[in-house]
Amino acid sequence: MSKTKGGSGSGPGKPTLQRKKGTTTTTGRLLEVRVKTARGRKTSSTSWLHRQLNDPYVLEAKQRGLRSRAAFKLMEMDERVGLLKPGQKVVDLGAAPGGWTQIAVDRVKSAEPGGGTVVGLDILEWEPVAGATCLTMDFLDPTAPARLKEALGGKADVVLSDMAAPTTGHPNTDHLRIMALLEVAWAFAEEVLAPGGSFLCKVFQGGTENELLDRMKQTCTSVRHVKPPASRKDSAEMYVIAQGFRGKAEG
């Protein structure tokens, strides 16, 4: 997928904005777009819209035909630790709207003859991504793991999860919710990962609970927390990356 590749001189972690009349200065710097408060629009909505309109990752994602700015997070983490390789089998949990799925398809070459396999799943309706099997269902549905395994057609080399439970605004509750998803995602990864496989999952600051982190360390050669540059500085999100899977832990 050529759309996932930057132009000359642009790296995956540092979007290079094209200069367009009315959007940049003569030096190429992005001009700030101001958003007026509209009747009926909440202040929080105005702030979100302002941030979106002035986010270089959002603009670059549109220019490259990527479905979300989150695609850059996966690109940056992949460049850092080498997750995705041609011919691999990849599962993408919490895939909608498909930004990570697009990157996975591009890097494992699943749209090409003899390439890898990408299976994405989300509870939300999402448009299919060429080169991937796209499922719309709840990952917590008891039948979901079997559906994913059937579509995958064998052990996975990489399990990705950008799943996140709806936030309540209560830090402790939100942490428990994201940890519950992480527990289920890791349990699935233990079942489906091939030896040497990798697992990447979103967490929030407060980190991964020690018990789960210890389980990962017992079964993987490398476990680390990462905050990619594309993750907004004011966001509490982080990612845990476990590589070198050795097999499901006993007990």
CA dist 90 → 107, 121, 164, 187 (Å): 10, 11, 19, 16
Q: Which residues contact 175 (CB under 8 A, 6 or more apart)?
A: 204, 206
Instruction: Name residue 139's amino acid.
Output: F
Angle at the Cα of 139 from the Cα atoms of 136 and 142, rounded to 5 degrees: 110
For the chain, give me the number of helices (H) and strands (E)?
A: 7, 7
Instruction: Name residue 141's amino acid.
Output: D
- Residues recognised as catalytic: 202
d(CA 128, CA 130): 6
| Best CA proximity match to 190, nearest among 153, 218, 226 | 218
